[in-house]
Structure 1
Amino acid sequence: MLPGNAIFRTLLLLVFSAPVCTFAQQRDTIRYSLILTGNIKGEKKVIETSPGTFESWYQYNDRGRGDSLHTIYHQDNDGFPTYIHAVGKDYYKKPVSEDFSLTDGIAKWKNAAENETKPVSGKAYYICMNGEGGNMIKALKASHHKIKLLPFGEASLEIVLEHKVGDRNLQLCKVSGISFTPGYVWIDEQDNGFGYIGDWFSMVRKGYEPYVKELLAVQKKIERQQDNKLARELPERVAGDILIRDVTLFDAEKAALLPHTDVLIGAGKIKAVSVGKRLTAKADRIVDGSGQTLLPGFWDMHVHLGDGPEDIMHVAAGVTHVRDMGNDTTLLTLRKEIDNGELIGPHLEVISGLIDGAGPMAAPTGMLIHNVEEGKQFIRMFADKGYDQIKFYSSIKPEWLKPLIAEAKKYHMRVCGHIPAFMTAAQAIEAGYNEVTHMNMLLLNFFGDTIDTRTPQRFAIPAQRAASLDLNSPQVKQFIALMKARNIASDPTLVAFEPMLTGRDGVLEEKNKDIITHFPVQIQRSMRAGGQGIPVPPGMDSTYIQSFGAFLKLTKLLYDNGIRIVAGTDGAAGFDYQRELELYVKAGIPAEKVLQLATFGTAEYTGKSKDLGSIKVGKTADMVLVAGDPVKNISNVRKTKLVIKNGVIYDPAKLYKAISVVPF
């Protein structure tokens, strides 16, 4: 799941709206290229049609998904929008529209989630949910680098540095107040947006695409300074021992709670565990664990790790270990920086080398191949770099799979991934898969091998047909028996499909109801807008919701039949992981077993249980302290009070505050 959410688009479009030009230049069109992992995937163009009035077109294609937008808007002399009319489609191709006006001190706006009127004193900058309008950088510069936002909040500007590319003199701007952390944008000599540069996704002035890497390197140096500062200031490194007193310990190996337990930690290791008897050891740091539960650190088995606020989110949520499921080779450097303490983040335990077939629906990251021999070369490259497994994607040709899997097994690498187009999961397992990624890929097994899983059909078909699937049928039983016989694991990522199948415009998703007030105001607004679902054909609303119920039921059925479940998200760091665990309980798996599979079970699966996965003497001190009892109420995993990673203490409250989140 890649950029496509409302907050990402907000940052992208706010500062790339209106060019600063005169009416005499109305025929000039400013064009931008949208680049996803090095490939141009869309464009944006803006033209001034009359003084202060602009028209823009934006379109983005991500494997058949991607939003598009046509906007007409007006701005005042300082860049503040006064009129916006936008129509288009969202990331999942659902129609969207938005209107805004500011006249005589009265602001009015309407979109799929809001229809509001608000008096405005002075100037204020409206942030669209779906549209765009105005020039935020110009507005900030005209307002002493700070502006009021509509519907609420404020934004501020810092000019970080100047840099020249080709014949253009650029400024790097830091805009704060919109999301978890400041957003960085490049502007030109006229304060027009020049580039929004990111690891995966960038938008840059057309003709300057070759400069993206250079701009990213300059920007990363600035971002790293702040990240390194947080890594110095936020962790608590205790010189001596740490003693956690009178805590309820979760024995992850037995899936049992042990009340009134003392745990002694020193030099990054667990030195003593005493159940029911007070330890007399001295310690430099004593933690009162009464009324709280101590668990091993969690493992998120489906991430695409970056170096932004998501790394802090992982740790704040008690996720101390992750498996990366597809990235670029800079991931190896990121792992070193985290392990060396230069960045805050989870330990990267397992790295997947992603391989897909070249083509218009190819994966946005990883290595793209045209034949088997190219695939074998990349497998050998990944093995040489120390990667742990190979992940295949949907554009791999079915006839390539067996020889590629055989090559991976030569290097003792496990194999997982999507099911290639025009194959079934059973066929992929027979070819040598060790694990199937995403629950929709398992459900598609029962609908034949004619489905093009490169397209959004991989979501639509399960949404339309899973509700009527008989999970007690011989076909399902035979498939589960195959999974068990081959020792196949499932990475269901239920949290990725919950909003996709049940999300509706203007409806707050269930997963956000208890946490929404903790987020920055613009994130809250995006959550309240809902609408993260795929398009629902007329008359199928309840079917889609029931189909998600089938996702849950199949997960429980797999568990009941001894199929290993590995908890992963492919979504928002930390918060989605906690929801994934809640969904397992909702599916009917006992909470203590969910906590076990999320800790010791995963350490065992990855071959690391001798040192990780449970709180036992001699093991590495990776653990999370939560308020209350998560066995009685799994949602208590959200109430993290202390995280210890490799013996270093992290205060979740401080971590959350650093990314503008109210602590839990």
Structure 2
Amino acid sequence: MKKILLTLAAGICFTSFAADTTRYVVLMSGKPAGKHLVWSDAANQVSYFFEYNDRGRGPRLSVSITYDDQGFITDRQARGVDYFKAPVEESFSLVNGQAVWKNHIENEQRVVNGKVLYAALNGAPGEVEVTLMALSKLPNQEGEVVPAGKARAVQVRNHVSKVFGFPLELQLYAFTGSGGPPEYVWLTPKKKFFASIGGWMSVVLEGNEKIIDDLKKAQDKVEQEYLVSQAKKFTEKQSTPVVFKNVNVFDSKTAKVHANQSVVVVNGKVTQVGKAGKVTEPAGARVIDGTGKTLLPGLWDNHAHYNASTGLYHLAGGVTNIKDMANSLDLPEVKAKVDADLLLGPDISVMSGFIDFAGPYAGPTGKIVSTLEEGLDAVNFYADKGYQQIKLYSSIPPDWVKPLAERAHQRGMKVCGHVPSFMTAERAVKDGYDQIIHLNMIMLNFLGDTLDTRSMLRFIRVAERARNIDLASAEVKRFMRLLKDRNIVVDPTAAIFESMFTNEPGKLAHGYEGTIDMFPAAFRRSFYYGGLPTMKGHVGEYRESFENMVKMLRLLHANGITVVPGTDDFPGFTLHRELELYVQAGMT
């Protein structure tokens, strides 16, 4: 009887499509946002099409693969545009032990021993089928990858979902080797791609959208087990005092470094700091020799989006506290797990409740509302959950800002966010904003109120024109007085604009010169990707615009406006560059 039911379920889910095409739906926040197609052109050949729309961003890719009888790719071609709409022309071939690959940051070839896999710079989710086919032929399902690293696939769970009342057997695989946490993919028993389930975006076989929550619940359980094991592995509760000996200590109040110091920590608190040899070491203390190293207080990232799988990167970068600037609605529960040491990561000291207006450019998380009343209810929801502030996003109608801000203030919360489209930062402040996030929103204040900033224009227009803003103008001076008088906080995230406006493909991203070798080889590649695709032919102008943004940062500080360092980028390590940019701006 079970076999009959499985056959019926397979018929419901698969046979409604053309014989040579399998169709998938891309969903963001549970709503259709794109599609993914897979079909076979001939024996040992497969093609893919993948596109989605994320607030005007998103890839549109066509990929064709030829593979040998064992599943190893002999030729791969990818064409289209990437997430930021930059052209994609990517190729890979493996013939007679010679691997050759080319994309917008690499043009390399290498003699390889035996079979290798290729890590696509831009790819489609369904390609995992070919990867697994190849890995299944290797010992421990593990293989070498070019340009760098290894790949390994492990089946971690069998699961049965119900589709129209019929059971559907699926398998959850964990892929590792990229240098980060496992990536999870759902496959059929015949090892065909079925779904990729993420927090904000999912790809699932068309017709099976209703079982995403079921798959996510099963996947979350597996992922939670892994994350708890990592927390146990890397967390050590100190039952005895700890002495950091012979360290350099940075004094943030005086901006000086004191050499050859000892720091005593008892029950998680610093109890003594002084010259090494003159500090009393508690009996039974654990002594850590820090000769040649510098001890810093834990850093704050005032613009982060906590993800359990990347919490360790925050800690490795010295970040011990974050302000979470938008996340899934289970953030309070996630925070509780971090507090209980069940998840690795910094303390989530501030939670921001995300609110945006429904539409094609709506944000990917939080509360998406269609009426002002729903927006006011969202404010109450976040207040009841213990959030400290709300974050308004780009699609919010400008006339809603004032009543939403009033409700938030009544509930004891602050108001921050993007400046909504067709609104200036000046008006947002007057209508109740307590904090402006992203330096481009400050620059846009002087580029008019007719710009649709829901799209990539909020970056491109600033890159093109920010260099022409006169920072000594009466308009800028008036705006500075407004920010000062209203005690407005600015969260610039300057490093991401340096990345967008000045990073060139194939060259190491600014700020990672001292840390790039710390990352796994397969992971380093992402730091060479480059900035906005529109920068081509305008490198000088874009750089001048960023330089004027740094001058704006200096002006904010000089006018006594509170500036807080945040990143909205790679966890932990981007904060180092953010702080370096502040020093360049004269904030010493």
TM-score scaled to structure 1, two decimals? 0.81
- Partner of 2:524, secondary structure, is helix
Residue in 2 that maps onto 1:35: 27
Give the aligned length.
Answer: 563
Q: Give the percent of matched residue pairs that are identical in Structure 1 and Structure 2.
A: 39
Distance in structure 2 (CA, Å) of the matches to 1:371 and 1:170: 40
- Distance in 2 separating the partners of 1:370 and 1:389: 21
> Contact 2:390–2:416 at 8 Å: present in 1 too?
yes
Q: Which residue of 1 aligns with 2:158?
A: 162
Q: Does 1:84 align with 2:87?
A: no
Secondary structure of residue in 1 paired with 2:296 = strand
* Cα deviation 1:439-497 (Å, max 9, x = unaligned): 00000000111011111110011100011211111111111111111111110001211
CA offsets 1:239-270 (integer angstroms, 9 cap, x no match): 12222334443333444444554433222233
1:108 equivalent in alignment to 2:131? no
When residues 276 and 561 of structure 1 are mapped into structure 2, their CA distance, relative to the original with a 3 A threshold, is farther
Q: 2:568: which partner in 1?
A: 570
User: Which secondary structure state, in structure 2, belongs to the residue aligned with residue 299 of structure 1?
Assistant: strand
Alignment check: 8 A CA contact 1:439 1:492 kept = yes
Measure, in 1, the Cα distance between the counterparts of 2:248 and 2:95: 60
Distance 1:107 1:290 in 2: 45
Residue-by-residue CA offset, 1:165-204 (whole Å, 9 max, x unaligned): 2343211112221231222211112211112222222222
- CA deviation string 1:194-238 (max 9, x = no partner): 122222222221222222222122122222222212222322222
Q: In the alignment, is the contact (CA less than 8 A) between 2:245 and 2:276 conserved in 1?
A: no
Query: Paired residue for 1:141, among 123, 136, 141?
Result: 136
Paired with 1:577 and 1:120, the residues of 2 have a C-alpha distance of 38
1:338 aligns with 2:311: no
Q: Is the contact made by 1:87 and 1:131 (CA closer than 8 Å) also made in structure 2?
A: no
2:563 aligns to what SS in structure 1? Answer: coil
* Structure 1 position 531 matched with structure 2 position 530: yes
Q: Which residue of 2 is the match for residue 588 of structure 1? A: 586
Distance 1:111 1:448, change over 3 A: same
Other structure's SS at 1:447 match: coil
Taking the aligned partners of 2:321 and 2:416, their CA distance within structure 1 comes to 19
Q: Distance in 2 between matches of 1:578 and 1:38?
A: 35
Report the Cα distance in structure 2 between the residues aligned to 1:287 and 1:511, rounded to whole angstroms.
Answer: 29
- Aligned counterpart, 2:12: none
CA distance in 1, matches of 2:513, 2:250: 27
Secondary structure of 1:407 counterpart: helix
Matched, 1:152 2:148: yes
Residue matched to 1:629: none
| TM-aligned CA distance change 1:507 to 1:249, over 3 Å | closer
The more displaced of 269-278 and 197-206 is 269-278
User: Which amino acid counterpart does residue 456 of structure 2 have in structure 1?
Assistant: P
**111-120 vs 486-495, which moves further:** 111-120
Q: Using the TM superposition, give the Cα deviation of residue 281 of structure 1 relative to its aligned residue in structure 2, in angstroms.
A: 4.1
1:550 to 541, 548, 551: 548
Q: Which residue of 1 aligns with 2:405?
A: 405
Q: Give the letter for the 1:297 counterpart.
A: G
Matched residue, 1:352: 352
CA distance in 2, matches of 1:154, 1:358: 42
Paired with 2:476 and 2:33, the residues of 1 have a C-alpha distance of 39
Corresponding residue number in structure 2 for 1:3: none
Deviations 1:568-615 (A, max 9, x none): 11111111111111221222322xxxxxxxxxxxxxxxxxxxxxxxxx
* Structure 1 equivalent of residue 89 of structure 2: 97
Q: Does 1:286 align with 2:287?
A: yes
Take 2:112 and 2:244, find their aligned partners in 1: how far apart are those partners? Answer: 53
For residues 245 and 530 of structure 2, the distance between their equivalents in structure 1, rounded to whole angstroms, comes to: 46
The answer to whether the 8 A contact 2:511-2:576 is kept is no
SS of the residue corresponding to residue 535 of structure 1 reads helix
Q: For the Cα contact (< 8 Å) 1:424–1:449, is it kept in 2?
A: yes
Q: 1:259 to 1:84 in 2, by over 3 A?
A: closer
Could you say what the CA RMSD is over the residues aligned between the two structures, in angstroms?
A: 2.0
Q: How does 1:216-231 map to 2 (within 5 A)?
A: 216-231=216-231
Q: CA–CA distance in 2 between the matches of 1:313 and 1:101?
A: 34
Matched, 1:174 2:188: no
Aligned twin of 1:303 = 304
State whether residues 301 and 491 of structure 1, in contact with CA within 8 Å, keep that contact through their aligned partners in structure 2.
yes
Alpha-carbon offset, residue 374 of structure 1: 1.2
Distance in 2 of aligned mates of 1:531 and 1:26: 39
Question: Partner amino acid for 2:142?
Answer: K
Q: What is the Cα deviation at residue 436 of structure 1?
A: 0.1
Is the contact made by 1:171 and 1:188 (CA closer than 8 Å) also made in structure 2? yes
- The letter of the residue matching 1:163 is H
Q: Which one is further off, 453-462 or 500-509?
A: 500-509
Q: CA deviation at 1:300?
A: 0.5
Contact 2:199-2:328 within 8 A present in 1 as well: no
Contact 1:84/1:131 (CA < 8 Å) preserved in 2?
Answer: no
Please tell me whether the aligned partners of residues 325 and 391 of structure 1 are also in contact (alpha carbons under 8 angstroms). Answer: yes
**Counterpart mapping for 1:114-513 below 5 A:** 114-131=106-123, 135-144=130-139, 145-166=141-162, 167-274=167-274, 278-283=278-283, 284-308=285-309, 310-513=310-513
For the 8 Å contact 1:97–1:130, the answer to whether it is kept is no
Secondary structure of the structure 1 residue equivalent to 2:446: helix
In the TM superposition, 1:45-60 aligns within 5 A as 45-60=37-52
Paired with 2:236 and 2:550, the residues of 1 have a C-alpha distance of: 40
Tell me, in whole angstroms, the C-alpha distance in 2 between the residues paired with 1:245 and 1:101: 54
1:130 is displaced (CA, Å) by 2.4
- Please say if 1:69 is aligned against 2:76: no
Partner of 1:600: none
Give CA-to-partner distance per residue, 1:124-145, whole Å, 9 cap, x none.
Answer: 2222222465701111112231
Q: Distance between the aligned counterparts of 1:292 and 1:123, measured in 2?
A: 43
1:107/1:475 CA distance change after superposition, 3 Å: same
Query: Is the 1:259–1:276 Cα contact (8 Å) retained in structure 2?
Result: no
Which deviates more, 480-489 or 579-588? 579-588
**CA pair 244-178 structure 1, distance change in 2 beyond 3 A:** closer
Q: Provide the rounded CA distance (Å) in 2 between the counterparts of 1:446 and 1:454.
A: 17
Q: Closer, same or farther in 2 for the Cα pair 1:114/1:264, shift >3 Å?
A: closer
Equivalent position SS for 1:490: strand
Q: Please state how far the C-alpha of 1:28 moved relative to its aligned partner.
A: 2.7
Q: Secondary structure at the match of 1:487?
A: coil
The answer for unaligned runs of 5 or more in structure 2 is 1-16
- Counterpart Cα distance in 2 of 1:174 and 1:472: 56
Question: 1:433 is paired with a residue of what secondary structure?
Answer: coil
In 1, Cα distance between equivalents of 2:204 and 2:514: 38
Distance 1:88 1:138 in 2: 26
State whether residues 98 and 131 of structure 1, in contact with CA within 8 Å, keep that contact through their aligned partners in structure 2. Answer: no
